[in-house]
Amino acid sequence: GAGVSQSPRYKVAKRGQDVALRCDPISGHVSLFWYQQALGQGPEFLTYFQNEAQLDKSGLPSDRFFAERPEGSVSTLKIQRTQQEDSAVYLCASSLEVTGGSVTGELFFGEGSRLTVL
């Protein structure tokens, strides 16, 4: 597609439920990022993929968060046993260029998935 596509746009979950958020990056972009944005805050890094390899997951807040990108294109962020503090917008971004371990190229964001945990 022309841009980064995320689904669902909105998700309401009861505390304790599992959720799965999907990201379709721009075709040909090898780098894919997940960010968490709480209300009134800037996005915070969760994890990074280069193709199918998860090279950095240092931002995942707990072992309830899991991300995968099995074929190097679509990625899924899964949150198990959701808690109220997980309520946030989850942003996916893709990029063509990561040079020498640093993000040097343009980063394109999706519209985000807004998760509300009741």
Partner 1 sequence: KNQVEQSPQSLIILEGKNCTLQCNYTVSPFSNLRWYKQDTGRGPVSLTIMTFSENTKSNGRYTATLDADTKQSSLHITASQLSDSASYICVVTPEAGTALIFGKGTTLSVSS
Q: Which residues pair with 103 in a beta bridge?
A: 98
User: Is residue 103 involved in binding partner 1 (CB under 8 A)?
Assistant: yes
Judged by CB, which is closer to partner 1: 13, or 98?
98
User: Is residue 43 involved in binding partner 1 (CB under 8 A)?
Assistant: yes
User: Is residue 41 involved in binding partner 1 (CB under 8 A)?
Assistant: yes
Q: Site for partner 1 (CB under 8 A): which residue of 12, 53, 55, 118?
A: 55
User: 114: closest CA among 24, 39, 14, 4?
Assistant: 39
Is 101 within 8 Å of 48 (Cβ atoms)?
A: no
Work out how close the CB of 67 gets to partner 1 at its nearest, in angstroms, rounded to a whole number: 14
User: Is residue 26 involved in binding partner 1 (CB under 8 A)?
Assistant: no
User: Is residue 102 involved in binding partner 1 (CB under 8 A)?
Assistant: yes
DSSP E strands, 8-118: 10-13, 19-24, 31-37, 44-50, 53-56, 65-68, 75-79, 88-95, 98-99, 102-103, 107-109, 113-117
Q: Give Dmax over CA atoms of the chain in angstroms.
A: 42
User: Is residue 104 involved in binding partner 1 (CB under 8 A)?
Assistant: yes
Name the residues that contact partner 1, by CB under 8 A: 4, 31, 33, 35, 40-45, 48, 55-56, 58-59, 91, 93, 98, 101-104, 106-112
